[in-house]
Structure 1
Amino acid sequence: MTVRFAFTPAAAYVRAARLVAADVAAHAGVATGLLDEVRQAVGEACTRAVLRHRDRGLEDLVRVEFSIGDRFIAKITDNAQDLRARSSGRIGAGVGGGDARANDHDAIEEDTLSEEITLIVLGGLVEDLVVTGPDGNGGTTVSMSWPLPGSGSATDH
């Protein structure tokens, strides 16, 4: 079974994504002790996607997919191009406005640090975390999974 939806990149909708994640995970049979982890991890990943869209001025929808098989899998996908890739030509171009280039570099470093911190938090929450991308559209996908009863890999932490 797969549940897919998308939402406007606004913080107000992250809570709804968290609630849907917890509900679908509970129906899938994720252990009760892991439901808060699912809710928090999906919230962090969705917040990351919303911020990536906001920082790049994108109105594209954030995509969410929950699938149930051997494990409960949550995927959150943004369309935000990597800032380093988008700005690399501008930073190293040597075109006038040295202060602007320095400010761009500082903003990129701050954004990268913020994303790294979010991924560290996610790594602490979720045993099975994979971040892929940027893809053909320039976005990234955060994939997380949790064991289901009878999957043979049910480790509760």
Structure 2
Amino acid sequence: MNGSRHDRTGGRRPEPATVRFAFTPAAAYVRAARLVAADVAARSGVATGLLDEVRQAVGEACTRAVLRHRDRGLRDLVRVEFSIGDRFVAKITDNAQDLRARSGDRVGAGTVGGDARANDHDALEEDTLSEEITLIVLGGLVEDLVVTGPDADGGTTVSMSWPLPGSGSQSDH
């Protein structure tokens, strides 16, 4: 390392690096994820004018993951990864099975001794609408947004990226 990294990269491409962590799916930890995102983004050279966007977008994506876990009764950790290369990339991954991807299945159906309740369909529609609104908000915040999944574990990953100085990414859009 070459001394303090508190200064901007001055047009130099930052060293490739990755920061990973996971947190219990609780709203209290979303704030910590936002703060880490802003700090890592600032240290990687993301323009000061974009730091609020990074903070808000990571917060929205983490909140989405926490709600997906909560709604499905999961205690698995929400995974967060920030990588620094040509761009600053934030990935937030949940482990919640995407109920909308399974045609014909209803919440509660197939559980031992349980029938699908009439309001389960309404709850599923409400969850779907809430998730769609979150993705619309993210789409308005982040120019480079990709949602993938469900993966083999049934979860989804929200990937977002922002340009770094000297990457040439700013003029590509």
Is TM > 0.5 for Structure 1 vs Structure 2? Answer: yes
Whichever structure has more helix as a proportion of its residues is 1
* C-alpha contact 2:25 2:77 (8 A) present in aligned 1: yes
Structure-2 separation of matches of 1:13 and 1:95: 31
Structure-2 separation of matches of 1:36 and 1:96: 46
Structure-2 separation of matches of 1:29 and 1:42: 17
Structure-2 separation of matches of 1:98 and 1:24: 46
- CA deviations 1:80-124 (Å, max 9, x no partner) are 001234683347979999994431211111100000000000000
Q: 1:98 to 1:81 in 2, by over 3 A?
A: closer
Q: What stretches of structure 1 of length at least 5 have no aligned partner?
A: none
Pairwise mapping of residues 1-157 of structure 1 onto structure 2 (< 5 A)? 2-85=18-101, 88-90=104-106, 100-154=116-170
- Matched residue count: 156
Q: Which moved more, 1:115-124 or 1:76-85?
A: 76-85
Q: What stretches of structure 2 of length at least 5 have no aligned partner?
A: 1-17
Q: 1:13 to 1:93 in 2, by over 3 A?
A: closer
The secondary structure found in structure 2 opposite 1:87 is coil
* Sequence identity percentage: 91
In our comparison, the structure showing a higher alpha carbon Rg is: 2
Let me know the Cα RMSD of the aligned residues: 3.0
Q: 1:51 to 1:91 in 2, by over 3 A?
A: closer
